[in-house]
Amino acid sequence: MAHYMNMNLIITSLVMILISHLPFSSTVNPDKPTKSITDRICNQTVNFNECELIVTSQLHSPHANIATITEVMTKRALTFATETVSQIQDYLLPNATDTQDKAVFSACEIAYKAVVSRLQSAYTSMKNSDYVAMKAQQNQALGYIDVCVERTNFFRRTPMVAANYYVRLTAKIASIAGQILAPSTTTSLSP
């Protein structure tokens, strides 16, 4: 009976994480230049349609340049990562009874704290027009997300599977936008 209650709690946590990661603001119908930028970014992701929905849901007007898209997507990735840390700390770790799940959640908590730190730095660097630092921090954030992805067993279907997918997709969108914004600068790939 306790196992089923724990499973229900984990499923509830999964639903909360998924809901917190879905774009709820209304999407903007982008103008042709903005659509072209969005298409260029989303063609490089694992899910074009989801990428397009996420990007357009973050825009405040039909026209956005690459700097605006980079900024809003870096900020959105930071929000997702911060929400994921909160979900791990507030729901997943305190309610996990399986030792394997606890180990994964603990490792992911550490990784996502690093993701938050890197994305905060990327956002600050972007605001300061330091695109080399921005891209390096974005790439390092992706590396830390991968640390959690590697620890997570896709077939166990813990809430971390969905969280990793959405945070990684959003951080990847920000990273691709950053590469388009400042293509000639080099970045560091190690976390």
Indicate the residue type of 14: L
pLDDT of residue 147: 93
pLDDT band at 132 (very low <50, low <70, confident <90, very high): very high
Domains of the chain with CATH codes: 2-181 (1.20.140.40)
What does the block give as tokens for 118? Answer: 């890197």
In terms of C-beta density within 10 A (0-12 exposed, 13-18 middle, 19 or more buried), how is residue 105 classed? buried
Q: Which two tokens stand for residue 27?
A: 């999407």
Higher pLDDT, 75 or 7: 75
Residue of 161 and 18 predicted with greater confidence: 161
pLDDT of amino acid 5: 47
Does residue 154 register a pLDDT over 90?
Answer: no
DSSP, collapsed to helix, strand or coil, labels residue 158 as: coil
Using only the alpha carbons of the chain, give its radius of gyration. 17
* pLDDT greater than 80 at residue 176: yes
Q: Is the pLDDT at 25 greater than 90, yes or no?
A: no
pLDDT for 15 = 55
With 0-12 / 13-18 / 19 or more C-beta atoms within 10 angstroms meaning exposed / middle / buried, residue 128 is: exposed
**pLDDT, average across residues 38-48:** 96
Residues 6+ apart with CB under 8 A from 187: 132, 135, 136, 138, 139
The pLDDT mean for the chain works out to: 86
